[in-house]
Every structure is written in C-alpha cells, then in structure tokens.
Amino acid sequence: MNATGTAGASWISLDFRLIDWFVVVAFFAISLLIGLVVSKRAGRSSSEYFLSGRTMSWWLLGISMVASTTSDNTGNLFTDIIRQNGISGNWVWWVFLLTGMLTVFVYARLWRRSAINTDLQFYELRYSGKAATFLRGFRAIYAGALMNTISMAWVTLAVIKIGQVMFGFSPVKTVILASAVTVTYTMLGGLRGLVIADLFQFLLAIVGIVVAAAVVVRLPEVGGLANLFSHPNVVGKLNFVPDVSNTDVFVAIFIIPLAVQWWSVLYPGSEPGGGGSLNQRLLAARNEKQALWAALSFNIVNYGLRPWPFFIIALSSLAVFPNLAALRAAFPHVDPQFLKDDAAFPAMLTFIPPGLKGLMVASLLGLHMSTVAGQLNCGSFYVVNDFYKRFVRRDAGEKELVLAGRVFSLLLMIAACVLAPFLLNAKRAFDLVVQVGAGTGLVFILRWFWWRINAFSEVTAMAVSFVVAFYFELVHAHTGLPQLAHWQRLLLGVGITTLCWLTVTLLTRPADDRTLIHFCRLVQPGGPGWKAVVQRASASGITIEGCAAKWDVPHGILCLLFGCIAVYSCLFATGMWIYGRHTEAAMLAAVAVAATLLLTKSYRKLTFHVPITSVGQADGHAS
C-alpha cells in the first residue's frame, strides 16, 4: 500500500482480513476473561482489590510496571521527539532513569517498610495535625483525579490518532471502543487482574512492535537498516548526545534534563522519592527485597531494552514522511489539528501487511489498556482509600469500598476521554505534565530524610507549581511579554516553587515529636536529617531501633551510579549494534558488564529490615 491518496481511509476495508479480526477479538476476550477469573477473589476486600493481598512476586510486578509505562502513546512520543530533535532528544525522558534508580536503591525499601496501603497514607504517618489530614485528602483528589486524568488523557490522545490514521474512526468512536474493555476488566479484577493482564498484553505488544519495526525497514522507501542510517533525512538524527555547537538545543534537551529535571519534576511513573501507580506495585510486593527487585527489573527493561524497536519505526518515518506536508497529503481524511509529528508513528503502521495487522492492532490496544488500567486502579485507589473512606464514609464495609473503586474507575475513564482531544500532540502533553510538577520533586525526596519538612511544605509545592504551569500555559502567551522556551519555563517553575516551599517550611511548625518518633521507629530512614529527633527520643527514654546502624543511603547512591551506567551502556550498546558499529557496541557492552559487577558488590552492603509493626499503626496514624 502506498502512503498517498486515501490509503489510510481505505485501509480497513481493503486489508483487514478475517485472521486480523480473529486476533483482535481473541485479545479482547482474553483480557476480559482475566478480569472475570480473578473478580471473585478481587472482590473479597479492598486490600485484595487494590494490593493483591501483598503477595505478588517481583518479576510479575516489574513487568507490570513496564507495561503500565509503555502505552500506545509511547511510539507517538518517541516519534515526535526523534522527528524534531533526533535520538538525542530522548534525554528529556532518559534522565528519569536517575529517579528510577533512586527509588530502587533508596526508596523502594522505605515504602515497603512503611506497610501502608497507598503512598497518600504516608502523609498521616509522616506529618501530624489537621494539616496532615487536609494534605491527604487534597492529594487524593490532586493526584488520584486531576493528575491521573491528565495522564490517561495523554494516552487516550494516542489511541485517537491511531484510530483516525489507521481506521478513519472519529475520536468518539475510538475512545468508546478502546476504553470499554479496559475499564471493564479493571473494575472486575483489581490489581491482581491488572498485573496478570499486563503480562499477557506486554508480551504481545513487544512481539507486535518488533514485527512492525522489521516490516517498515523493508519498505522500498527505507531499504533496510544500512540505507536507513545513511538516508539524508536520518543521518543527522542518530547521535546519542546533541550537538554542542547548537547551544539552545544542547541546553534544552541535555543540560537541563540532567542538571535539573530528573530530581525536580513530578512525572508519572518516575516520581522523585517514589509514588504513584508504580509505587502501588511496590506496596503489593511480599517484602523489601521483592520490592527492590521489582523496581530494578522495571528500570532495566524500561530504559535499557524497550526503546529501540520504537526508535527504528520513528527514524523510518523520516524516510517515508519527511515533513508534515507529506503526512497530511497521505491522510487527507484526518483532522489536520491531529496531524503533528507524533501521528507519523501510526502512519507507519498502515504499511503492516494483511495477516499481521490484527497482531499490530492488538499490540497497540495492549499498550493502551495496560497503561490506562494501571492509572485507573491507582487513581480510584487514591480517591476511595484516601478520600472516600477517610472523609466521607469512615465506616464503609469492604464490599462498599470495592464497589466505590469500580465506580470511580468508570468516572475517571470518562473524564480522560473528554480531555484527550484538547491536548493535540504527544510532546505538548509531555511538556504540560512536566511543567505541572516542576519544583515539587525535591520536597518528595527530602521529606524522608529531613525532619523539618511538614505538610505545609508539600501543599505549597503542589499549589505553586500548578499556578505557575497554569500561568505559562494559558496566561503568559497573551501578556505581550517575550515568549519563553520550555526549558526556561521549567527553570522558572522549579526556582519559584522551591523558594516558596522552603520559605513556608522554615516559617511553619514541623510535625509533633510523637509522629516523628513513630515514623523513625517504623521506617528507620536514618541519616543526619533525623539526628535531632533521635536525640529528643533518647532524652525521653525512647530507643529507635536501627538509629545506631550505619546509614546505607550512600551505598544506595553508589548503586544508583553503577545501575545507571549499566543501563545507559546497555541502551547505547544496543543502538551501536543496530547501527552496525560493532566495535563501539562491544566496548559499551563491556562497560555495562563491569558496572553490573560493581553494582552486585555494592548491593550486598544494603540493609533490609523486617517492618516494625509493634509500635502501632492504624490507617497511617501514629499511636
């Protein structure tokens, strides 16, 4: 099929055959069956529905994490980035490996040690008084409803573009078809059903994307990998680091992400200090080690092994659709407002031959469903456990909580579908999510290790960052002031937000000693930031177990360093091997092996604890 005329519009009627329909229908049926099979067990209690009874294995949780962060929007985003800034443009998200490894070797153990049900329950474990109570409720709505809706809308935008480009479907028809099965099996199966479905959907998706990459590189316009990498539209897009001579680009997509973005931004799936839908998997792990290995396997696969089939498709799109004019000429039936660079990804998938199209569509649906299902389960968990149960129906029974979770899942899905068409393109949605969280990251990192941070610190950080993002997105463009690049807006957002929450922290009272001492005894964070609390506890005759032990966070940071070197080396070694530069690939592989050996040695020095539940804990409150 040629990428001209109305190829996209006629694709389904000409090329979607019985075997393709069979694969898609079978995919839907299996996904629903998983939800039905585990629905009875999931409905036993809210703990079973939202946390699978804390019995999940690390490898299953790790795959589920990767599946939840690999959506149908992943290919669109990578394509959008690469068509504009090349492979090196991916540093805007590659840097979040640093955040991920920090969670692996520092925060995963602390979260699992806390024995709480959601990361929002942390607030009444770590802080005290009405401020802590307010923060928990506020964050349940802010993270569970607002941020989750934005994240799901971003993913839904991708499926709208896929539906329009590949099928000629309207946005309404696409979201109804794509969301119906997702919300159904999520409502039925809870986290256990979601994780099992993630395994099935992710494996199918990886097979589909690899097959798609193999097909598109054989197109006449591409002519194989060797010709692709020498194509004039592609050759300047292959570097792993942006050109230093282009200062604006180098600063925007390399310096700022590495220096500021990774630690300062609250980004779904890579929250500084842990949190969000991925953190729900950590809390569902059997113990601390299982939580750590789940997080580690996620980061290795997500950053080191997953990207290259998507990258190949994105680079191939430059040979077939060199600019937006070519893309719009090939798909005149698609609304022009949706035909941005990210639409080149589904455009390339229209070349998949009959017989494999069903596999490709099922793969994309799997990516979409796994991500949305994770956000739905996490978002409804926040709203039910940290708002509905905490403030509306404190005496709600387990059956009522499960029902409420299912209802809120449906409502969140509807809200995301309504918002999705307004985001327009993947990179714009990415920038919006990053800007909304700019400046909040540091408070989420330090709250574990500095006793002075309080509930007002977090409320200030979230409120100010949101107001700054709102200003830049909706007000600044109409003020007549000079327009700012995204990285400039990010720096201003981080600076203003950090200054505000630090000022509020120093002007307000910390949590009371009873809460701080309980937190230290339960979580055992250690470090100089808790020295004052340990001394006050000792003066009162209270011994905090583990406080005299050597603080292992420095070892955790060393593990972070070796882990990042190993994963980045693996990522770039794979790229060099695909480029045909085998010497460089071998050298990078050797670096990856050496870093892995050093990581293994440092890992043995980390400390694992059995959670101290005897000190008293009820719904996050100190006792």
pLDDT digits (tens, 9 = 90+) for 330-354: 888 777 777 788 889 988 988 888 8
The pLDDT score that the predictor gives to residue 570 is 93
Q: Is 482 helix (H, G, I), strand (E, B) or coil?
A: coil
**What are the φ/ψ torsions at residue 332 (nearest 5 degrees)?**
-70, -15
Cα–Cα distance between 209 and 197 in angstroms, integer?
18
pLDDT at 308 (0 to 100): 94
Closest by alpha carbon to 113, among 480, 520, 527, 491?
Answer: 520
pLDDT mean across residues, the chain: 80
For range 448-476, the mean pLDDT? 87
Angle between helices 455-470 and 426-436 (to 10 degrees): 140
> CA-CA distance, 254 to 49, in Å (whole number)?
41
pLDDT given for residue 4 in this prediction: 36
Two tokens, residue 593: 């092996």
pLDDT at 578 over 90: yes
Q: Which residues lie below 8 Å from residue 429, measured CB to CB, with a gap of 6+? A: 150, 153, 154, 157, 423
- pLDDT at residue 51, rounded to an integer: 54
Mean pLDDT of the region 248-269: 84
**Burial category of 379 from C-beta neighbours within 10 Å (exposed 0-12, middle 13-18, buried 19 and up):** buried
Residue 84 has pLDDT above 80, yes or no: yes
- What gap in Å lies between CA 343 and CA 324, rounded to an integer? 9
Q: What is the pLDDT of residue 39?
A: 58
Instruction: Quote the pLDDT of residue 623.
Output: 35
Phi, then psi, of 317 in degrees rounded to 5: -65, -25
> Angle, to 10 degrees, between the axis of helix 148-162 and the axis of helix 398-419?
50
Q: Using CA atoms, how far apart are residues 610 and 287, in angstroms rounded to an integer? A: 8
Structure tokens at 436: 């909304």
Residues 212-245: tens digit of each pLDDT: 999 999 999 998 999 999 999 999 999 999 988 8
Average pLDDT over residues 150-158: 77
**pLDDT above 90 for 382:** no
Burial class (CB in 10 A: 0-12, 13-18, 19+), 356: middle
Q: What is the pLDDT of residue 202?
A: 81
How far the first Cα of the chain sits from its last, in Å, is: 68
Residue 618 has pLDDT above 50, yes or no: no
Look at residues 1, 6, 5, 359 and name the one whose alpha carbon lies nearest to residue 168. Answer: 6
Q: Are 472 and 484 in contact (CB under 8 A)?
A: yes
CATH topology of domain 1-424: Sodium/glucose cotransporter (1.20.1730)
- For range 2-11, the mean pLDDT: 36
Q: Output the pLDDT for position 595.
A: 95
Reduced to 3 states (helix: H, G, I; strand: E, B; else coil), residue 265 is strand
- At 265, the pLDDT band (50, 70, 90 cuts) reads confident
Residue 473's pLDDT is 74
Residue 500: pLDDT band (50, 70, 90) is: very high
What pLDDT score does 357 carry? 81
114 pLDDT band (50/70/90 cuts)?
Answer: confident
pLDDT per residue over 535-573, tens digit each? 888 888 887 766 556 788 888 899 999 999 999 999 999
Separation of alpha carbons 372 and 182, rounded Å: 7
Cβ atoms within 10 Å, residue 199: 16
| pLDDT above 80 for 171 | no
